[in-house]
């Protein structure tokens, strides 16, 4: 890892009362991710769960409400809705599965995923599998 490839840290982001660090990718990585994303997005859309709406392009809150209405408006439908949030899902992704399942250059994917972050001029290794805040991360 070099300081050039390490992402910058966005300080002070708080989620659920905890400090939540976002690793913003370096410019060269962001430009590469932006060129790869259109190629990977159609595959991600066709293999993803059709009932998943989080971080999906072209899907909005209104789509979720419409899907819930359609599912619950039938005479024999359930009278409740279960909502779950898998804590740490995107920042604790199984990296080995990503390397196996995502059809792209493994070395490049590894560089994007294992770059670490810079805080106060010091470079730190990444504690989890995938840095949050990258352009391509929702697609991955």
Determine the average pLDDT of the residues in 59-78: 89
CA dist., res. 108 & res. 105, Å (int)? 6
pLDDT tens digit string along 74-113?
Answer: 999 888 777 776 666 655 666 777 778 888 888 888 777 7
Contact 129/92 with Cβ under 8 angstroms? yes
pLDDT tens digit string along 7-27?
Answer: 444 444 555 666 666 667 778
Going by pLDDT thresholds of 50, 70 and 90, the confidence category of residue 136 is confident
CA dist., res. 3 & res. 97, Å (int)? 27
pTM beyond 0.85:
no
**What percentage of the chain has pLDDT greater than the value 70?**
70
Exposed, middle or buried: residue 69 (CB in 10 Å: 0-12, 13-18, 19+)? Answer: exposed
pLDDT tens digit string along 33-56?
Answer: 999 999 999 988 888 888 888 778
Q: Residue 36 has what pLDDT? A: 92
């Amino acid at each position: 890892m070099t300081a050039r490839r390490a992402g910058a840290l966005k300080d002070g982001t708080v989620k659920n009362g905890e400090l939540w660090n976002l690793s913003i990718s370096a410019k060269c990585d962001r430009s590469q991710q932006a060129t790869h994303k259109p190629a990977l997005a159609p595959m991600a859309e066709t293999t993803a769960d059709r009932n998943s709406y989080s971080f999906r392009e072209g899907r909005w809150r209104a789509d979720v409400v419409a899907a819930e209405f359609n599912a619950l408006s039938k005479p024999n439908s359930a009278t409740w809705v279960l909502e779950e949030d898998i804590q740490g899902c995107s920042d604790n992704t199984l990296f080995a599965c990503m390397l196996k399942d995502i059809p792209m250059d493994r070395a490049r994917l590894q560089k994007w995923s294992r770059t670490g972050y810079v805080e106060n001029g010091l470079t730190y290794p990444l504690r989890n599998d995938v840095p949050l805040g990258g352009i391509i991360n929702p697609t991955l």
